[in-house]
């Protein structure tokens, strides 16, 4: 008799990049983000050979039973938050394998993607498949443990894996480019700690709320205009909007010498516009390019010290 086929469930979530509106989004203004499918987090759940829930994440050197981990450890937190939401207090022996090609602390949504993939795979394994809205809401709870006051943009874009026009607290709005456009993303290699930059911007805001509200307002306007341009397929003005958004982020002290350098290099190599992306002070920058220029811009960024470039088409 053939042995029974073991029950195994896998789920993946992509990385993400913010196009416009980071930081201002925390204060209620819109932001645009898109999935980056070249990098993914994948979670596989299968029946375990020992009692309990065993989590293995070789990329971060983790191999441990759930109850031995701190409850706010990011992977453990995603499991706890899901089980508690489902009202499940004991599980059969489980093995949860987490792998990810999304760089950590780089503004590419690694934490949110891992949470989403865990919640999605485990809920399916437990025969309690959840809608995306619920998966995103649960991943947001994990984000809150680590980022303090996240806007929710990361969990939203990686759950739905579509371009998103995001306004904190509002229901999902996706958008569709009329004409695909190409981005070259480059990593400074310097870890970006979003919580720190969000807190620094908050302190800045407290020094002069009226002034910074005006800046956030302008960034929100850029995000709205950018969405309209993308939907109308007139993406060439997006380059100017990226440049202006970057200048406003510089005013907010969330850029850095390395980010500014890569932004300048991209523009000099023919990009139509460039800006830092995400929390800033490290992590990634993005540049908008004519697809025929993508290889040259990527090459220039690597020569200028970028530790990694990703070329992606938004469609």
Q: Which residues are catalytic?
A: 154
In the numeric block, the tokens 């929100």 are attached to: 220
Judge contact between 263 and 208, C-beta under 8 A.
no
Nearby residues of 97 by Cβ (< 8 Å), 6 or more positions away: 43, 44, 45, 46, 56, 57
Judge contact between 21 and 219, C-beta under 8 A.
yes
Question: What's the min distance (Å) between Cβ of 276 and ligand PMV?
Answer: 10
Question: What's the min distance (Å) between Cβ of 150 and ligand PMV?
Answer: 4
> Does the footprint of ligand PMV cover residue 154 (CB under 6 A)?
yes
Q: Which residues of 104-130 are buried (b: 16+ CB within 10 A; e: fewer)?
A: ebbbbbbbbbbbbbbbbbbbebbeeeb
Judge contact between 76 and 55, C-beta under 8 A.
yes
Our CB check for ligand PMV shows the closer of 18 and 66 to be 18
- Contact range with ligand PMV by CB under 6 A, out of 44-52, 55-63, 146-154, 183-191: 146-154
290, exposed or middle or buried, with CB in 10 Å at 0-12, 13-18, 19+? middle
Judge contact between 246 and 263, C-beta under 8 A.
yes
Closest CA to 113 of 53, 33, 47: 33
- Contact range with ligand PMV by CB under 6 A, out of 43-51, 148-156, 207-215, 228-236: 148-156
> Does the footprint of ligand PMV cover residue 18 (CB under 6 A)?
yes
Q: 13, 26, 75, 269: which one contacts ligand PMV (CB under 6 A)?
A: 26
> Does the footprint of ligand PMV cover residue 25 (CB under 6 A)?
yes
Judge contact between 22 and 259, C-beta under 8 A.
no
> Does the footprint of ligand PMV cover residue 107 (CB under 6 A)?
yes
> Does the footprint of ligand PMV cover residue 116 (CB under 6 A)?
no
Question: What's the min distance (Å) between Cβ of 284 and ligand PMV?
Answer: 8
Please give the backbone phi and psi of residue 143, each rounded to the nearest 5 degrees, phi first: -55, -40
Give the chain's radius of gyration (CA, Å).
20
Q: 153, 158, 263, 314: which one contacts ligand PMV (CB under 6 A)?
A: 153
Q: 13, 15, 23, 114: which one contacts ligand PMV (CB under 6 A)?
A: 23
Separation of alpha carbons 183 and 226, rounded Å: 14
Question: What's the min distance (Å) between Cβ of 102 and ligand PMV?
Answer: 11
Q: Could you give the string, one character per residue 184-223, with x where binding to ligand PMV holds by CB under 6 A and - elsewhere?
A: --------x-x---x-------------------------
- Contact range with ligand PMV by CB under 6 A, out of 36-44, 119-127, 145-153, 263-271: 145-153
Q: Is 95 helix (H, G, I), strand (E, B) or coil?
A: strand
Minimal CB distance residue for ligand PMV: 278
Sheet holding 284-289, edge to edge: 273-276, 284-289, 181-187, 308-314
> Does the footprint of ligand PMV cover residue 279 (CB under 6 A)?
yes
Separation of alpha carbons 32 and 99, rounded Å: 27
> Does the footprint of ligand PMV cover residue 282 (CB under 6 A)?
no
Q: 151, 159, 245, 312: which one contacts ligand PMV (CB under 6 A)?
A: 151
Our CB check for ligand PMV shows the closer of 177 and 279 to be 279
Applying CB under 6 A, the site for ligand PMV has a residue count of 16
Binding site for ligand PMV (CB under 6 A): 18, 22-23, 25-26, 107, 147, 150-151, 153-154, 192, 194, 198, 278-279
């Amino acid at each position: 008799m053939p042995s029974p086929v073991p029950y195994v469930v896998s789920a993946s979530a992509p990385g993400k990049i913010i196009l416009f509106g980071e930081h201002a989004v925390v204060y209620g203004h819109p932001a645009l983000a898109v999935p980056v499918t070249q990098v993914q987090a994948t979670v596989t759940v299968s029946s375990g050979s020992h009692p309990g829930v065993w989590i293995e994440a070789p990329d971060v050197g983790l191999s441990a039973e759930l109850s031995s981990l701190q409850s706010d450890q990011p992977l453990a937190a995603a499991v706890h938050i899901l089980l508690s939401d489902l009202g499940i207090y004991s599980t059969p022996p489980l093995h949860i394998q987490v792998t990810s090609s999304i760089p950590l602390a780089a503004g590419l949504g690694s934490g949110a993607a891992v949470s989403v993939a865990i919640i999605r795979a485990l809920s399916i394994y437990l025969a309690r498949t959840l809608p995306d809205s619920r998966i995103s809401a649960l991943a947001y709870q994990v984000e809150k443990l680590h980022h303090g006051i996240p806007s929710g943009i990361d969990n939203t874009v990686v759950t739905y894996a579509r371009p998103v026009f995001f306004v904190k607290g509002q229901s999902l709005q996706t958008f569709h480019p009329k004409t695909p456009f190409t981005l070259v993303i480059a990593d400074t290699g310097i870890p970006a700690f979003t919580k720190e930059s969000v807190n620094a911007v908050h302190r800045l805001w407290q020094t002069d709320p009226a002034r910074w509200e005006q800046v956030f307002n302008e960034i929100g306007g850029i995000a709205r205009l950018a969405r309209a341009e993308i939907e109308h397929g007139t993406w060439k003005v997006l380059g100017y909007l990226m440049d202006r958004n970057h200048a406003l982020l510089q005013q907010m002290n969330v850029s850095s010498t390395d980010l500014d350098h890569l932004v300048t290099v991209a523009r000099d190599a023919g990009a139509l516009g460039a800006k830092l992306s995400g929390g800033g002070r490290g992590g990634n920058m993005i540049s908008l390019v004519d697809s025929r220029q993508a290889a040259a811009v990527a090459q220039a960024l690597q020569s200028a010290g970028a530790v990694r470039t990703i070329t992606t088409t938004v469609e």
